[in-house]
Chain A
Amino acid sequence: MVEKEKIKKIAKLARLGTTQEEEESFAKDFSLILDYFKSLEELKTSEVKPTFHPTEGLLGKNVEEEREDELEIDKAKAFLAAEKIRSAFPEREKKFLKVKSVFD
């Protein structure tokens, strides 16, 4: 069983407030899920390189070259939806996003 203290710590890191009830239920689920993850320990992987991106080594040479070309011609362009993004602010003042004060 994962201790409740650990659950509280993780919740804090994840910026999630949890109720007592949630902590208990997460502790139970965590044990089950982490045990399942432990099955990976059966595999020896000290010599294996990790894959972080599925197309690593999957692309043909031409595709990679094409990409570099595109990066070279990468130019800044105007983003036209700025006001639409501002209009989604929960609180705003003119063009600015308003947040609770950080300093006393």
Chain B
Amino acid sequence: MDFDKLTIEDIHKGLIKKEFSDTELVEFFIAKIERTDKRISAFLETTKEKALEKAKEIDNLISRNQRISVLAGVPFAVKDNILIEGIKTTCASKILADYVAPYSATSIKKLEEKGAVVLGKTNLDEFAMGSSTENSAFFVTKNPCDLERVPGGSSGGSAAAVAGGMSVFALGSDTGGSIRQPASFCGVVGLKPTYGAVSRYGLVAFASSLDQIGPLTKTTKDAKIVLEAISGRDADDSTSIGVRFKEFGLNPSSIKIGVPKEYFIEGLEGGVEKKVREAIRTLEKMGAEVKEISLPHTKYALASYYLIATAEASANLARYDGIKYGFSDRDGEELLDVYFNSRSNGFGQEVKRRIMIGTYVLSAGYYDAYYLKASKVRTLIKEDFNKVFKEVDVVITPTTSTTAFKIGEKKDPLSMYLSDIFTVSANLAGLPAVSVPVGSSNNLPVGLQIIGKPFEESTILEIGGWLEKNN
């Protein structure tokens, strides 16, 4: 059986009807990873034994006709910056190469309580800093659609695991597009929830006012199932918020879609624009009202984002000092040497670059000109969205300006940063946004982004679902 094509609900039905056992299912995915991942390199570590143990437990429950959750027995992969107790969490960095997580992230606890089965940890750009998964300290992950190309990043391993049929779904994290951009490059669904919808407890912090955990899935329905499982108020994350998401059931003719002219600019690949415009027309034909809108501060979003993200990163990554955990270089004479040597030899180039920029923009004399300025521009970007959301229900844009680029193609840091140009605004404004596949351009997947009002995940996922049926 082709288990790799099944959605979460397909699996649930198959399990409770006893068409297959969870052990068979998990064994299938383990074998698939062993066979496929030699070429793709999505996984940093697999947790075969634990997964099979868990599958046995689920099979026992089923054989005793116990009620099981829709996620029970469903195998998933986890980006390696999310903690799972007793398993290494490396963040694809030398500085955490041997770090074993002492506790599990809230999102993991919630999925495990529902019986979902962890298959392993997936590759990423070191500390989630990058847009191609080339910045991993260990190896480069390849795009299952074209092995010469990047899967996107930073959740590239998670996107490749789902796209390559090696996992039913995966968790990623999104600070400036790190779920949506790889989802777009690999042709899967990737959701960044509203800031606060999912607890960040147990997610290794990169930029705390921007980071969110979210699912990468084959369908929007799957994304909703995972979101509902991992979201909610958590006492361990004071920024988390308990919200109940709506049921699906919208009428397309009641939906107003805004298409911001600032996203259809020079540099947008022709094939990407074509597919996105076609999808918008599909929604229009279904009865949705489509209107051109303006988000006038869009062109400032990327600069504002990188300023805020590097500033927050420089503070968050100060904790890796070689003293309490992680890589520790003790060769020097004094305590200060431990800090300098551990950090210099533990962090990769891009992480150092961002810590340096963040330190610079926060340093005396520059704070007002850079960090404060960026935070004020963040307000303007948020206000742009507040204004358009008085007129429209959702905003639709391309997820990325191009399809997946070649490994090694982007050499200077700024051109890599530019690949996040369409995704960072949702993080700055804290809004939910999903990338859904809408066909391909030159045989490479194209992603369409739907940005919603706060906590309107259900709306953007349902609209995304309409495009799946028409694909």
Q: Chain A residues in contact with chain B, CB under 8 A? A: 7, 10-11, 13-18, 22, 26, 29-30, 32-34, 36-37, 39-43, 45, 48-55, 58-59, 63, 66-67, 70, 74, 81, 84-85, 87-91, 97, 99-102
Which of chain B's residues has its CB closest to A74's CB?
B235
| Min CB gap A49→B, angstroms | 6
- Tell whether, in the assembled complex, residue A70 and residue B235 are in contact, meaning their CB atoms are under 8 Å apart: yes
| Min CB gap A58→B, angstroms | 5
Q: In residues 218-270 of chain B, which contact A (Cβ within 8 Å)?
A: 233, 235, 238-239, 241-243
Task: Digitize B334-365: 1 where CB-to-A-CB distance is under 8 Å, 0 elsewhere.
Answer: 11011111011001010011011101110100
Which of chain A's residues has its CB closest to B370's CB?
A37
- Tell whether, in the assembled complex, residue A99 and residue B356 are in contact, meaning their CB atoms are under 8 Å apart: no
B379 at the interface (CB under 8 A from A): yes
A34 to B302, CA, bound (A): 12
Which of chain A's residues has its CB closest to B426's CB?
A54
Q: In residues 73-95 of chain B, which contact A (Cβ within 8 Å)?
A: 85
A74 to B340, CA, bound (A): 38
- Tell whether, in the assembled complex, residue B430 and residue A54 are in contact, meaning their CB atoms are under 8 Å apart: yes
A residues less than 8 Å from B428 (CB atoms): 51, 54
B414 at the interface (CB under 8 A from A): yes
A26 to B352, CA, bound (A): 9
B291 at the interface (CB under 8 A from A): no
- Tell whether, in the assembled complex, residue B241 and residue A45 are in contact, meaning their CB atoms are under 8 Å apart: no
What count of chain B residues pass the 8 Å CB interface test? 74
Contact of A10 among B196, B239, B360 (CB under 8 A): B360
Contact status of A17 and B341, CB under 8 A, knowing A10-B359, A37-B370, A88-B102: yes
A residues less than 8 Å from B359 (CB atoms): 10, 13-14
A97 to B375, CA, bound (A): 38
- Tell whether, in the assembled complex, residue B379 and residue A50 are in contact, meaning their CB atoms are under 8 Å apart: yes
- Tell whether, in the assembled complex, residue A11 and residue B379 are in contact, meaning their CB atoms are under 8 Å apart: no
- Tell whether, in the assembled complex, residue B324 and residue A97 are in contact, meaning their CB atoms are under 8 Å apart: yes
- Tell whether, in the assembled complex, residue B303 and residue A14 are in contact, meaning their CB atoms are under 8 Å apart: no
A20 to B454, CA, bound (A): 47
Which of chain A's residues has its CB closest to B383's CB?
A48
- Tell whether, in the assembled complex, residue A26 and residue B344 are in contact, meaning their CB atoms are under 8 Å apart: no
Which of chain A's residues has its CB closest to B196's CB?
A55
| Min CB gap A59→B, angstroms | 7
Which of chain B's residues has its CB closest to A15's CB?
B339
